[in-house]
Structure 1
Amino acid sequence: MMSDDRVAIATRKRKIAELARGIRKKYLLFKLGRSEEDESINKLFKPLSDPLKEIVQSSKILNESVGRIKKEEPLFTPKKTPSTPSRIPQIIRKLKEKEETPFLSLEEIARDDGDGDDDDDDDNQRSREGQQEASFSEQVMDEYLEQYPVMSHPYIKAHWSYSPIIDDLYGPTYDPPSSKWFLGTKEIDFDKKTGYIKIEGKQVRGTPGLYQLIFYRDPDDYNDEDLAAYKGLLKLTDNYLKKDGNLKGTARNKWTHILKFIVERKMPPSGSGLTYNEKPIEYVYWDDPNELVDRLKLLIASKDAGNTSHDNEIVAIINELKEANIIR
């Protein structure tokens, strides 16, 4: 009976741990997705937000100037009191008693009254909260990375930290709703059990060089085997193509030194050759040069009238007359 209870308790603990891990993972995905959304919104509204920030900054400078002018004749002198949490309510009461001081803000009185220990406490509190949040985020990231091979951890972590070394054009993308990675429109899987990288049923063993080729903007530490494996994976995707089917060429080193030689295809022949005409060849025989001259006059008159289909015959008659030394 006791053993059954222990098994049940252990099972509940394991389920609780799995549930907690899932909650942390969803929180991380939500936070990362929100970061991408905030970044895109900032880029979209930057032309509007920058001028508004300048206006706000100018207003702050103007308020500080007016505040300094008003402070030259203070209506009351703040007393130096020990720094305690109850100091702020006391300052508010002073403001109510002195309604004639509209230029003095609560923040300015707080800076003049006391030695600023509360501000230091607030800064310390914010610092502690920031450290706790960073520690929590790091813990969530570590738990998130547990589902991937250890070799892939630094590359996936660099992806989520928006590192400049990550290839945002040819590299993999993550789809939060499906919790899957994609290379172009093809799913790419990093198998933790086997350490293989899989695309469209094809799998290759993951190596640091191959991960660099997949994730990095400018990979520099790989060998020929890594390059061959990357070529095999890339051929299964459309990651190097635009929507119209043309190659996604750029001036990046990764394209000019690696991708270009992997995916560049021979262009199919275009255009057409000479058309085959089954009509019998008409040979023109002559025994009197005057006939050729009359024919030449007729063809030239036709050309002057706008008919351009006799150019070849005109040239042929002229050549015949030259060969016969009739004209030079």
Structure 2
Amino acid sequence: MKQRLIEDLLDARKSVKHKYISLKRDFALAERKSEQHLKPITQPLKQLLTKATPQNFKRENIKHDSADVTSSTETLLRTPLKASTAQRIPKTLYSEHEEQPSFLDTSVIADTTRDDETPTLDELRAELSRAGDHPSFTEFLDQYDGLAKIYVEQMFRSTENEFDHRYGVRYIPEANKFYVGDSELDFDKQDLVLKLPTGDTVAYNGTPGLYELLFKRQPLGYKTADENNYRDILLRTNAIRRHYNPNEQIQGTGKKYSSIIKPLFSTRVSVPRIQTSSVSTRKGKGIQMLQLNNK
């Protein structure tokens, strides 16, 4: 039940993201179509405005008797106003052999009706919210503490594409486990525990900065020690290599790689003093904890 709920939550989250992207694309396309359809109308109007020139009026000083002026004013006030004789714009700007664009009959945006079976963005978000409020999901989150719980919950609920699943943490529903690169990620309270394919287990002090680097596409508030830990994690897990294969080339794409990851490997990073201490994971297994102290 719990695993099924997590899968449904992930599916709902993906649906919200895809729907949002699709709506943005549809509105952009509708705007371009409207501009193309309106061009046969707007272009002649622009030409009319360009060709139109103000008429030159000749000033003449005409003298009137005061009696004539009074009489003319009274006549003007008694006479109803007539319709303006200004030049009218033709009803259609198209010849008999030219089809009138469809947008004149129906709006391009309004005409893009949706299938009743296709959920709207609000409906998908409501579904995501319902799944996130399910007791089983709450029970799932209760396994974690502190920063681990905060970032895991945000990762499942977020629809803004702010989490990094390429160089950071990703969730595999089939295994019901978190991974970084080729290694399983577990949590000891809020410390981060890597289980490497070699069987070795390494833990890192779970600071806010390291969580930002591991989870976010645009991390904030991290320190040099966090960068050193993140660099070590990327090396151990092959997270920067194609298919997470140690024999493959480095896959460097995106803003996070160019602004954060690449500088970590192109500049010499200070080697910290390493201390190890025994800790127990959430599942009670003994590991060695890697503590980086920059002094």
Superposition TM-score tier, normalisation by shorter sequence: 0.3 to 0.5
Greater relative contact order (Cα < 8 A, sep 6+): 2
Larger Rg: 1
User: Larger helix proportion, structure 1 or 2?
Assistant: 1
Q: TM-score, normalised by structure 2?
A: 0.46
Q: TM-score, normalised by structure 1?
A: 0.42
